[in-house]
Structure 1
Amino acid sequence: MRKLLDGIYDSAAALAALFMVGLLVMVLLSIVSRQLSFYVPGTDAYAGYLMAASGFLALAYTLKRGEHIRVTLLINALKGRWRKALEVWALALATFLALLFAVYSCKLAWQSRTYNDISTGSDATPLWIPQLAMAFGAVILLIAFIDELVMEIRGRRVTAASGEALRNE
């Protein structure tokens, strides 16, 4: 099960990286097209869609690698069962919020598909297509929080420390 979950997180991160490359292509295409005086419709909108997709798809991967911002002042002051209780409470709350986020992201994409919502730009993209990446990323984030919560309750959670904290001066 661990291999499957890690594979899901890694695959979502790889897809996020691919979308980031797509974002670069869209920005470069926009710059070059303006310099050469021709118009490519939708480059700004697609750049935005790709940026959102890469951000949402990378959420679970960054959570599992300990790269999300955490306020550790209180948790570092606690020891033993109080610390574990606070960790479980925080992860349970985060899991609940991720659940709401996933449900409403999926609902938004579904409604956009049902009502045939399209973007207001010249590209007229059906909005459910870029919203799928947000919903997909939110669902994977929910899975990652459930994973973290279960591992914390079982006492098997290894908190990955971000390397950024080590470089503070």
Structure 2
Amino acid sequence: MTFRLMPIYRLGGWGAAASMVAICTLITLQVLFRLLDAVLVMAGSSRLGLEITGVSELASFLLVGATFLGMAYTFTHHAHIRMSLVIQRLPAAVRAFTELACLLIASALNALLCVSLWQLMQESLEYDDVSSGLLAIPLWIPQLVLLIGMVMMSLALTEALIDTARQALQAPQRFQAPDDEAGHD
């Protein structure tokens, strides 16, 4: 299966990777600052008290980016958990329409989630909602990242749905599920 919007999904993958690197960097710095304070206290000196305020909150918002920005990328690389154990044992024609039904359901649920996330983000903007932790981060920012990730996932599901529908309608007896294909991009 060829995904025409792969550059967009790849960009999401890079965003997810950058989020993970940022989480690791924040936590590593926080640990190093605490270690430095411990060494200074052991040496008889006073603590410097260096810390990153709200590191847990920042890490949790970055985790949203790491999770949702990477969804379409992992889907296009067939890295999501799938129920292929049952589906791969079906005859090719039945497998084609089963895959099509699964993609239709996933697309519908994903579209519903996108609409709900859009409404939630609009509400957060309207009421100027901010996070309740040490940092007052406007909630629309992580919600926007979540929405972008889900929109990319919708695009990937739509591409897979169109390709699967084409195969299912033209030659269902020769259908190959994405897990059966060799040489994933």
The 2-side partners of 1:42 and 1:15 are apart by: 21
1:100 equivalent to 2:119? Answer no
Give the corresponding residue for 2:8.
8
1:159 partner letter: P
1:60 equivalent to 2:92? Answer no
The one-character-per-residue Cα deviations of 1:39-61 (angstroms, maximum 9, x if unpaired) are 32111101111111111000000
1:159 equivalent to 2:183? Answer no
2:134 partner letter: S
Give the corresponding residue for 1:167.
none
- Give the direction of change, closer, same or farther, for the CA distance of 1:64–1:161 in structure 2 (3 Å limit): farther
- 5+ residue gaps in structure 2? 38-48, 168-174
The one-character-per-residue Cα deviations of 1:43-81 (angstroms, maximum 9, x if unpaired) are 110111111111100000000000000112321121132
Please report how far the alpha carbon of residue 30 of structure 1 lies from its aligned counterpart in structure 2 after TM superposition: 2.2
- Give the direction of change, closer, same or farther, for the CA distance of 1:120–1:162 in structure 2 (3 Å limit): farther
Deviates most, 102-111 or 140-149: 102-111
Q: How many residues align?
A: 162
Please report how far the alpha carbon of residue 13 of structure 1 lies from its aligned counterpart in structure 2 after TM superposition: 0.6
User: TM-score normalised to the size of structure 2?
Assistant: 0.80
| 1:1-169 aligned within 5 A | 5-35=5-35, 36=37, 37-155=49-167, 159-160=178-179
The one-character-per-residue Cα deviations of 1:130-165 (angstroms, maximum 9, x if unpaired) are 1111110011001110110001011297614699xx
- 1:105–1:131 CA contact under 8 A, matched in 2: yes
Deviates most, 85-94 or 153-162: 153-162
- Give the direction of change, closer, same or farther, for the CA distance of 1:94–1:112 in structure 2 (3 Å limit): same
- 2:19–2:62 CA contact under 8 A, matched in 1: yes
The 1-side partners of 2:143 and 2:132 are apart by: 15
Please report how far the alpha carbon of residue 4 of structure 1 lies from its aligned counterpart in structure 2 after TM superposition: 5.2
Give aligned-pair identity as a percent. 30
User: TM-score normalised to the size of structure 1?
Assistant: 0.87
1:77 counterpart SS class: coil
The 2-side partners of 1:96 and 1:64 are apart by: 18
Moved over 2 A (4+): 32-40, 160-163
Please report how far the alpha carbon of residue 3 of structure 1 lies from its aligned counterpart in structure 2 after TM superposition: 7.2
Higher relative contact order (CA 8 A, sep 6+): 2
1:66 counterpart SS class: coil
The 2-side partners of 1:124 and 1:157 are apart by: 50
Greater C-alpha Rg: 2
- 1:64–1:160 CA contact under 8 A, matched in 2: no
